[in-house]
A and B are shown apart, each in its own frame.
Chain A
Amino acid sequence: MTGRPGPYQRQQSGPGDRFPGLDVLGQARHWDSVTAGLVAARLSPPSGLAFFTPAEAACAGVLLNLLTGQEDNQEISVLHMIDARLAAGETDGWRYRDMPEDAQAWRDTLAYLDQDADRRCGTTFADAPEDDQLALIQAVQDLAAKDWHELNAAHVWSLWTRYACTALYAHPLAWDEIGFSGPAYPRGYKNIGVDKLEPYEVRDARPSGDPIREGT
Chain B
Amino acid sequence: MPGVRTRNESAWLLPNDGSRTDHRLRDGMRRFADTDELDLVIVGCGAGGSVLLQRLARAGWRVAALDAGPFWDPDTDWVSDEAGSHRLYWTEPRVISGTDPVPMGSNNSGRGVGGSMVHYAGYTPRFHPSDFATRTRDGVGADWPLSYPELRPYYEQLEQELPVAGERWPWGDPHGYPHRPHPVSGNGEIFLRGARKLGIEARVGPVAITNGRFGNRPHCIYRGFCLQGCKVNAKASPLITHIPDALAHGAEVRADAMVTRIAIDSGTGRALGVHYVRDGRERFQRAAMVAVAGYSIETPRLLLNSACSRFPDGLCNEFDQVGRYLMVQGAPQTAGRFDAEVRMYKAPPPEVSSEAFYETDPARDFQRGFSIQTVSPLPITWAEHVAAQGHWGGALREYMSDYVHWACLGALCEFLPRPGNRVTLAGEKDQHGLPVAEFSYSQGDNDKAQAKAAQAVMEDILRAAGADEVITIQRYAHLVGGARMAADERSGVVDQSCRSFAVPNLYITDGSVLPTQGAANPALTIMAVAARAAGQLAAGARSGSAS
Same assembly: yes
**A interface residues (Cβ-Cβ under 8 A, vs B):** 1-13, 17-18, 31-32, 34-35, 38-39, 66-69, 71, 90-97, 101, 134, 137, 141, 161-162, 165-170, 174-175, 177-181, 183-197, 201, 203-204, 207-213, 216
Partner among B78, B397, B399, B402 whose Cβ is within 8 Å of the Cβ of A68: B397
A12 CA to B183 CA, complexed, in Å: 38
User: Is there an interface contact between B471 and A1, defined as CB atoms closer than 8 Å?
Assistant: yes
Q: Of all chain A residues, which has the CB nearest B392?
A: A67
Given contacts A9-B394, A188-B222, contact A38 B81 (CB under 8 A): yes
Q: Which of B338-346, B445-453, B487-495 contacts A (4 or more CB under 8 A)?
A: B338-346
Return B447 CB to nearest CB of chain A, in Å. 17
Return A176 CB to nearest CB of chain B, in Å. 10
Q: Of all chain A residues, which has the CB nearest B345?
A: A180
B396 adjacent to chain A (CB < 8 Å): yes
Return A79 CB to nearest CB of chain B, in Å. 15
Return A146 CB to nearest CB of chain B, in Å. 15
19 residue pairs A–B, Cβ–Cβ below 8 Å? A1-B390, A2-B472, A8-B394, A9-B393, A11-B394, A39-B84, A66-B393, A69-B393, A93-B94, A166-B383, A167-B83, A178-B401, A178-B402, A180-B345, A185-B80, A185-B221, A188-B220, A192-B185, A210-B469
Partner among A101, A162, A183 whose Cβ is within 8 Å of the Cβ of B93: A101
A180 CA to B383 CA, complexed, in Å: 13
A194 CA to B387 CA, complexed, in Å: 25
Return A37 CB to nearest CB of chain B, in Å. 9
Q: Of all chain A residues, which has the CB nearest B391?
A: A6
Return A101 CB to nearest CB of chain B, in Å. 7
Q: Of all chain B residues, which has the CB nearest A184?
A: B223
Given contacts A178-B403, A184-B224, contact A97 B394 (CB under 8 A): no
How many inter-chain contacts with C-beta < 8 Å in the A-B complex?
Answer: 262
Given contacts A97-B95, A216-B469, contact A9 B222 (CB under 8 A): no
A160 CA to B405 CA, complexed, in Å: 27
Which residues on B sit within 8 Å (CB–CB) of A4? 389-390
A212 CA to B398 CA, complexed, in Å: 9
Partner among A67, A92, A96, A203 whose Cβ is within 8 Å of the Cβ of B341: A203
Given contacts A8-B395, A68-B393, A179-B403, contact A32 B231 (CB under 8 A): yes
Which residues on A sit within 8 Å (CB–CB) of B384? 162, 165
Interface residues of B in 181-210 (CB under 8 A from A): 183-186, 189-190
Which residues on A sit within 8 Å (CB–CB) of B95? 94-97
Which residues on A sit within 8 Å (CB–CB) of B380? 165-166, 169-170
A93 CA to B151 CA, complexed, in Å: 34
Given contacts A32-B231, A93-B105, contact A180 B189 (CB under 8 A): no
User: Is there an interface contact between A168 and B383, defined as CB atoms closer than 8 Å?
Assistant: yes
B474 adjacent to chain A (CB < 8 Å): yes
A211 CA to B96 CA, complexed, in Å: 35
Q: Of all chain A residues, which has the CB nearest B379?
A: A169
**B interface residues (Cβ-Cβ under 8 A, vs A):** 75-76, 78-84, 86, 89-97, 101, 103-106, 109, 183-186, 189-190, 220-225, 231-232, 337-343, 345-347, 378-380, 382-384, 387-405, 426, 438, 468-469, 471-474
A97 CA to B89 CA, complexed, in Å: 20
User: Is there an interface contact between A189 and B224, defined as CB atoms closer than 8 Å?
Assistant: yes
The 6 closest A-B pairs by CB, nearest first: A188-B221, A93-B105, A5-B390, A11-B394, A93-B91, A170-B83
User: Is there an interface contact between A192 and B398, defined as CB atoms closer than 8 Å?
Assistant: no
Which residues on A sit within 8 Å (CB–CB) of B342? 194
A13 CA to B76 CA, complexed, in Å: 39
Which residues on B sit within 8 Å (CB–CB) of A212? 337, 399, 402, 469, 471
User: Is there an interface contact between B81 and A35, defined as CB atoms closer than 8 Å?
Assistant: yes
Q: Of all chain A residues, which has the CB nearest B190?
A: A194
Main secondary structure of the interface of A (DSSP, over half): loop
Return B234 CB to nearest CB of chain A, in Å. 10
Partner among A38, A94, A165, A209 whose Cβ is within 8 Å of the Cβ of B105: A94
Which residues on B sit within 8 Å (CB–CB) of A35? 79-81, 84
User: Is there an interface contact between B79 and A195, defined as CB atoms closer than 8 Å?
Assistant: no
A92 CA to B109 CA, complexed, in Å: 10
Q: Of all chain A residues, which has the CB nearest B103?
A: A94
Which residues on B sit within 8 Å (CB–CB) of A188? 220-223, 232
With contacts A183-B80, A210-B468 known, what are 10 further pairs, Cβ within 8 A? A32-B79, A32-B231, A39-B81, A67-B392, A96-B97, A165-B396, A170-B84, A178-B401, A179-B403, A180-B404
* Highest count of chain B CB atoms <10 Å: which of A9, A92, A192: A192
Return B479 CB to nearest CB of chain A, in Å. 12
Partner among B92, B379, B403 whose Cβ is within 8 Å of the Cβ of A93: B92
A12 CA to B225 CA, complexed, in Å: 31
User: Is there an interface contact between A177 and B224, defined as CB atoms closer than 8 Å?
Assistant: no
Return A113 CB to nearest CB of chain B, in Å. 15
Return B470 CB to nearest CB of chain A, in Å. 9
Given contacts A2-B472, A38-B79, contact A18 B383 (CB under 8 A): no
Which residues on A sit within 8 Å (CB–CB) of B472? 2
Return B197 CB to nearest CB of chain A, in Å. 15
User: Is there an interface contact between A94 and B468, defined as CB atoms closer than 8 Å?
Assistant: no
Return B66 CB to nearest CB of chain A, in Å. 20
Given contacts A165-B384, A166-B380, contact A211 B398 (CB under 8 A): yes
User: Is there an interface contact between B393 and A177, defined as CB atoms closer than 8 Å?
Assistant: no
User: Is there an interface contact between B390 and A187, defined as CB atoms closer than 8 Å?
Assistant: no
Given contacts A166-B380, A180-B403, contact A69 B341 (CB under 8 A): no
Partner among B343, B394, B468 whose Cβ is within 8 Å of the Cβ of A69: B394
User: Is there an interface contact between B397 and A210, defined as CB atoms closer than 8 Å?
Assistant: no
Q: Of all chain A residues, which has the CB nearest B384?
A: A165
Which residues on B sit within 8 Å (CB–CB) of A31? 80
A11 CA to B399 CA, complexed, in Å: 10
Partner among B79, B104, B106 whose Cβ is within 8 Å of the Cβ of A183: B79
Given contacts A11-B397, A92-B103, A177-B401, contact A2 B473 (CB under 8 A): yes
A68 CA to B324 CA, complexed, in Å: 41
A17 CA to B380 CA, complexed, in Å: 20
Return A95 CB to nearest CB of chain B, in Å. 6
